[in-house]
Amino acid sequence: MPKLAPLPLLHVCVALAAAGACSGTMHAPADTGAPASWAFPADQVVPTYGADGMVSTTDRVASEIGAEVLRRGGNAVDAAVATHFALAVVNPEAGNIGGGGFMIVRLADGTTAALDFREKAPLGATRDMYLDSSGAVSERALVGHLAAGVPGSVAGMWEAHRRFGSLPWADLVHPAINLADGIVVHARLASSLRSHVEELRRFPATSAIFLGDGQPPRVGDRFVQRDLATTLRRIARDGKDGFYHGETAALIEAEMRRGGGIMTRDDLAAYNAPWRDPIVFEYRDHTVISMPPPSSGGITLAQILNTLQGFDLRSLDYHSPDHVHLWTEATKRAFVDRNEYLADPDFVPQPTRELISDGYALRKRAEIDMDRATPSARVLPGLGPFARTARTARREGENTTHYSIVDRSGNAVAVTTTINSLYGNLVTVAGAGFLLNNEMDDFAALPGTANQFGLVQGEANAIEPGKRMLSAMTPTIVLDPAGRVKLVTGSPGGPTIITTVAQIVSNVVDFGMDVGGATAAPRLHHQHLPDTIVYERAGMRAGTVAALRARGHALRERSGYQGDTQSIVVLPDGRLAGAADPRRGGAAVGVRVARPVVQ
């Protein structure tokens, strides 16, 4: 382990000490950056460029469909609607009409908007509905009919289109219908289905679609989702009512009855997708616009970045022990508040202003000791501790997805959408052809115990009928100091969504990385509990790990990678640079519209 020479960076701390920034000493960088064996060197993530628009998604076909809408003169919201429905077909493990999500919009005229199409607990839900006879949380919070929240995606797309869309609704749904009539299976879908055969077998309607004659489709096979195509036709024809009323609603209710679920046609009819005030905060002369509760994303992102704002990160080597230490200390302090206070604002008053205030960040900075990690047990929210126990975690699946879009006028849209975990609750609505979410597990089913992501959440996020479960999804748009869109980003990954987005923003704003480098850089995660820094496979140098352990941090290398960002950066000359994350392998598709040649 390299010996850390103290002090060369002490000026950072000294300069900030007067503002209560930190205590202890900044250390000189030890060995830094990504290890030689890191899987995604910065120069291998080559951005895509576009003069007249950009769509970045986890699937090339979906990106092409969004880009085609832009080519036809649709705006960024039109493209989002078409992309969303396309992802529901080509990326059924994450894209969805059976789940929900969040959209951040920033129009070229300066309008900002945050759309909440998060699922809601059915009206028959009760606080203890997942507790078994021994008082523990049962598997029914994750698998099967009872795990589903009332889906929000179709209402969300309908509402976004009603407010901002310019092309006819049906034209935006039709490409997805064509895809549901038959796609050629590509490697990622084949591999995802192949590795989840056991899960897909658990419910017959799911098995019938994805396992056909007992085996999943292979690369190059034609994959037809006939029932999904029919459902999409109803949505194309009747809009939102094609999902929340009539045949689709009847099929959902029948599925619920068959499997012991509680969602009814009344739940579907009562569903709404409200506009909320986005979280807006300044980060080093940039303006960050992100999602408010019921997503914790925007507030927690603001808390992390507000805390870091007091430190001159630019003077630190990337992923040096000082950088990781500061980042971790800021993050664990943000997550303890997230887990305690944040919840559906329609049910629980949210202390948004206090949590994202400068004064609060100042207090948090003053708690940070540069020499020692503060144990999470000593990092407490204002409301005091509650009992903490762990439940077995399901592995993080590819069940959430993010897409970013900018159109030729400069309108920007960021959407993150999910069915929560591996193929949602594993239940396909028979006759309707789509998987349902298991978003109910994002509630604190037993406040004070961990959910599938290991998040230990409190009373604020307890189950109540009609309430939306707290999310970590963080669709985010960053404006440059002149108020122009600079970055559109977001990611899947449960609680790691927030830390992934925080790192993308910091990579671009603090470290001046281009969109490819910001995407490629190895990522970290800390969520207060468990009190462990999790880094990506081969994503941190041994010397850095040792130096952090010496400061009292626990570290763990994850077996895979963190997140699947889809990011667009607007370059100073107005061109768009897009990067799909190589961790899952999507595509950023640039748009260039042919212009008449002037003789």
The pair phi, psi for residue 81, each rounded to 5°, is -60, -50
Q: How many Cβ atoms are within 10 Å of 371's Cβ, its own excluded?
A: 16
Interaction of residue 471 with ligand DON, rule CB under 6 A: yes
Closer residue to ligand DON (CB): 381 or 495? 495
Interaction of residue 445 with ligand DON, rule CB under 6 A: no
Taking the complex as a whole, how short is the minimal distance between the CB of residue 302 and ligand DON, in angstroms? 17
The SS3 assignment for 323 reads helix
Q: Which residues in 445-504 belong to E strands, given as ranges? A: 476-479, 485-489
The piece of 123-131, 369-377, 469-477, 587-595 that touches ligand DON (CB under 6 A) is 469-477
Residues 401-420 that bind ligand DON (CB under 6 A): 418, 420
Closer residue to ligand DON (CB): 261 or 297? 297
Residue 567 near residue 500, CB atoms below 8 Å? no
Q: Report the relative pairing of strands 576-580 and 566-570 from DSSP bridges.
A: antiparallel
Pick the binder of ligand DON from 399, 404, 476, 500 (CB under 6 A): 399
Interaction of residue 298 with ligand DON, rule CB under 6 A: no
What is the secondary structure of 194-255 as a DSSP string? Answer: HTTHHHHTTSHHHHHHHSTTTSPPPTT-EE--HHHHHHHHHHHHHTTHHHHSHHHHHHHHHH
Interaction of residue 396 with ligand DON, rule CB under 6 A: yes
The piece of 106-114, 491-499, 549-557, 581-589 that touches ligand DON (CB under 6 A) is 491-499
Residue 400 near residue 417, CB atoms below 8 Å? yes
Going by C-alpha positions, the residue among 471, 475, 498 that lies closest to residue 488 is: 475
Interaction of residue 473 with ligand DON, rule CB under 6 A: yes
What angle, 0 to 180 degrees and rounded to 10, lies between the N-to-C axes of helices 169-180 and 226-238? 170
DSSP state, residue 178: H
Each residue 63-102 as x (binds ligand DON by CB under 6 A) or -, in order, gives ----------------------------------------
DSSP state, residue 449: B
The piece of 11-19, 251-259, 271-279, 486-494 that touches ligand DON (CB under 6 A) is 486-494
Catalytic status, residue 400: yes
DSSP state, residue 439: G
The piece of 198-206, 359-367, 397-405, 512-520 that touches ligand DON (CB under 6 A) is 397-405
Pick the binder of ligand DON from 47, 74, 149, 493 (CB under 6 A): 493
Q: How far is CA 471 from the centre of its chain?
A: 9
Residues 261-280 that bind ligand DON (CB under 6 A): none
Interaction of residue 343 with ligand DON, rule CB under 6 A: no
Q: Which of 58, 83, 400, 449 is catalytic?
A: 400
Cα separation, 332 vs 127, in Å, equals 28
Closer residue to ligand DON (CB): 192 or 231? 192
Pick the binder of ligand DON from 156, 492, 516, 578 (CB under 6 A): 492
- The residues annotated as belonging to the active site are 400
Residues found near ligand DON in the complex (CB under 6 A): 396-400, 418, 420, 439, 442, 471-473, 492-494, 497
